[in-house]
Amino acid sequence: MIEYFKTAWSALFTVFVGMKVTFKHLFTPSVTIQYPDVKLQLPERERNRLYVNMDDCIGCDQCARACPVSCITIETVKGLPGEDLGKTSNGKKKALWVTKFDIDFAKCCYCQLCVFPCPTECIYMTDVYEFSEYERDNLKYDFVTLTPDEREEKKANYARFEAEKAAEKAAAKAAAPAKPTETKE
């Protein structure tokens, strides 16, 4: 019978100890931050989403070559003679139209290796880290500022220029007098 009361007392004692701990934590303020409303301060050297300032991009393809997972795709077209492509913020003259600059964030490993080789510093990491998507295809970002029609126009203009240049070269070659062949006696 004494064993029965010892067991009952032990059970009640452990329940009281547990309730004491519970009530002690029930009325203290929580230390958990409320995520969507309150965000943590990020460290200075965080590596998050990439951003490309297309006004400064010269289409050099250095970032795409430095990327270890090949998530950056760049296509360029040379500017026509006399065409003003503008200048970058540090005064470097542009020579190429960037018709495609895609970054696939589903592949990106956020290593930041693409940032350092850029000569105009147009690609950099931002502090934006929330960009979840329901579809994987939505993680492919297109940074080009040209419209699809302008892209096709630039490509067609350059192809036409190259064709005219090749035709002029062929005409000049045909119009040049043929050198007489020397005969040995």
Residue range 126-147, pLDDT digits in tens: 888 888 889 999 999 999 999 9
136 is a domain residue: yes
> The whole model's pTM is what?
0.70
69 is a domain residue: yes
110 is a domain residue: yes
CB 120, CB 90: distance < 8 Å? yes
82 is a domain residue: yes
Domain span including residue 55? 50-168
60 is a domain residue: yes
In angstroms, rounded to a whole number, what is the distance separating the alpha carbons of residues 66 and 167?
38
User: SS3 for 46-68, per residue?
Assistant: CCCCEEECCCCCCCCCHHHHHCC
96 is a domain residue: yes
Task: Quote the pLDDT of residue 60.
Answer: 92
Task: Quote the pLDDT of residue 62.
Answer: 94
Task: Quote the pLDDT of residue 40.
Answer: 82
Could you tell me the CATH number of the domain that includes residue 68?
3.30.70.3270
How many domains does the structure of the chain reveal?
1
Asked if the model's pLDDT at residue 15 lies above 60, the reply is yes
Q: Collect all residues with Cβ–Cβ distance below 8 Å to 73 and sequence separation of at least 6.
A: 64, 100, 101, 102, 103, 104
15 is a domain residue: no
Task: Quote the pLDDT of residue 179.
Answer: 59
Q: pLDDT tens digit string along 41-59?
A: 888 888 888 999 999 999 9
One-letter amino acid at 79 equals G
Q: 128, 44, 145, 36: which is closest to 94 by C-alpha?
A: 145
More confident position, 15 or 175:
15
Tokens of 140: 């492919």
122 is a domain residue: yes
